[in-house]
Amino acid sequence: MSRVGGLAARLAAASSAGVIATVPALASASTPSPPGALPRLSARAAALIDESTGSQLFALNGAKELPIASTTKLMTALVTLERVKRLSTTFAQTDYRPAAVDSQIGLVPGERMSVHDLLLALLLPSADDAAVDLAYNVGGRSISRFVAMMNVRARQLGLLHTHYSTPVGLDTPGNHSSASDLVELARFMLTHHPFFARAVELPRAVLSTGDRARVVTNTNDLVGRVRWINGVKTGHTADAGYVLVGSGTRSGMALVSAVLGASSESARDANTVTLLDWGFAHFRQARLIVAGSVLARVPVRGQSNDRIPVIAARTVIEAIPKGSRVQVRLELPRQLSGPRVSHAVIGTAFVVVGASTLVRVPLLLERPIAAPPTSATMLITRLLTLVLLFLLLAGAAGLIVRRRERARRSNTAGAETA
């Protein structure tokens, strides 16, 4: 049975108490989505996330550990990209001879091909011989060492339901992942490795290195057929069924999907399009808060004319359900007193979707607040004020006396002349 994970779980959390102000969010309302309109999928597991934020929009058995076939090669590609400094580096093929039914580009033992072309062969036609070539050479002439690197990297990325026993993805004990882990891995690669993002959106490519030129075709036939789909990787074995990690971009929003255990290529493709379509139809990406924007002005105790600007610590961009009511609620002291340094944390902004809190953002002082004066300082200030006032009055009185004296002398001189 389908269940919505990630974002829905966060929206179900209780909203914060103690809010003293509400300001409009930068996002505006859109067309409401039909209640409970979840995608209907014929797959063992699936997941959908927003590429830019990682927010999970949908999950069907998202954490279930399943065979993943050649989507294993996503991690093979990642370890290679992170370990090899130049894509022009060439590797010699080992004595690996894949079975005739395996996906391959026909590398022969000793044939040299660039890492650039081996990665294209790995990602587009899902060539097993290219995967073994990369693993053997990047692993220091040891495939088992390379697999260990894959598992270390999975742990570092927090892929809790992923374990590898092969760089290829054939049905092997201990080689599994989950729909949620696969979309997280694909998102990381799409956002951190431009070569990967460019490669997986190619319908075909020419491999110019090696003993002969080769033209390879992307097994993800949605790329080039559906104009807004731009990745990512297919897989198929008897145990895994048909698997596809997909990605698409529409109206400036990018989503990443995973469908595991479909019954056929056509079902794999249909489920992927359905899931991505559902995401674009029911969510929108909104800039809710901008870092540095003034969200409130708080008075300072003892300084009736001073109100300190309060700013957001960071920008919040989130995928939110279309038609949802978005507010930013502020939790702040009603008055402030010093001393406080500039950018001190003094409160929290709660981004509220509907009736529930989606995210919290620290609120900072835009400028410092000086320490309030001590009793002694206040006494000295008052005395100085009185002295200054006395001097001003004395000066004014002296000025009046001098003016009168000048006037008297002027009148006396006038009388003598007459």
- For the chain, give the secondary structure using H, E and C: CCECCCHHHHHCCCCCCCCCEEEECCCCCCCCCCCCCCCCCCCCEEEEEECCCCCEEEEECCCCCECCHHHHHHHHHHHHHHHCCCCCCEEECCCCCCCCCCCCCCCCCCCEEEHHHHHHHHHCCCCHHHHHHHHHHHCCCCHHHHHHHHHHHHHHCCCCCCECCCCCCCCCCCCEECHHHHHHHHHHHHHHCHHHHHHHCCCEEEECCCCCCEEEECCCCCECCECCEEEEEEEEECCCEEEEEEEEEECCEEEEEEEEEECCHHHHHHHHHHHHHHHHHHEEEEEEECCCCEEEEEEECCEEEEEEEEEECCCEEEEEECCCCEEEEEECCCCECCCECCCCEEEEEEEEECCEEEEEEEEEECCCECCCCCHHHHHHHHHHHHHHHHHHHHHHHHHHHHHHHHHHHHHHHHHHHC
- Tell me the torsion sign for CA atoms 394, 395, 400, 406: positive
Q: Is the pLDDT of residue 12 over 50?
A: no
pLDDT at 296: 94
**Does the predicted TM-score (pTM) go above 0.85?**
no
pLDDT at 371: 82
Superfamily, domain 32-283: DD-peptidase/beta-lactamase superfamily (3.40.710.10)
Q: Is the pLDDT of residue 345 over 80?
A: yes
The answer to whether the beta carbons of residues 324 and 283 sit under 8 Å apart is no
**Type of residue found at 178:** S
Residue 309: strand pairing partners: 297
**Type of residue found at 48:** L
- Name the least confident of 47-51, 168-172, 398-402: 398-402
pLDDT tens digit sequence for 171-188: 999 999 999 999 999 999
Longest Cα separation, the chain: 137
Q: Tell whether domain 7-20+290-365 is in CATH 2.60.410.10.
A: yes
Catalytically active residues, by annotation: 70, 73, 126
| Segments making up each domain of the chain, as ranges | 7-20+290-365, 32-283
pLDDT tens digit sequence for 126-172: 999 999 999 999 999 999 999 999 999 999 999 999 999 999 999 99
pLDDT tier for residue 100 given thresholds of 50, 70 and 90: low
pLDDT at 374: 61
The answer to whether the beta carbons of residues 45 and 179 sit under 8 Å apart is yes
pLDDT tens digit sequence for 254-307: 999 999 999 999 999 999 999 999 999 999 999 999 999 999 999 998 777 788
Q: What is the mean pLDDT of residues 21-27?
A: 53
pLDDT at 16: 33
Count how many residues are written for the chain.
Answer: 418
Identify which has the larger pLDDT, 228 or 10: 228
Q: What is the mean pLDDT of residues 398-404?
A: 77
Q: What is the mean pLDDT of residues 1-17?
A: 39
Angle at 208 between CA 203 and CA 211, to 5 degrees: 125
- Tell me the torsion sign for CA atoms 289, 318, 185, 203: negative
| Closest C-alpha among 51, 55, 39, 78 to residue 5 | 55
Give the rounded distance of the alpha carbon of 150 from its chain centre: 23
Identify which has the larger pLDDT, 284 or 397: 284
Q: What is the mean pLDDT of residues 352-372?
A: 89
Two tokens at 182?
């696969």
pLDDT tier for residue 375 given thresholds of 50, 70 and 90: low
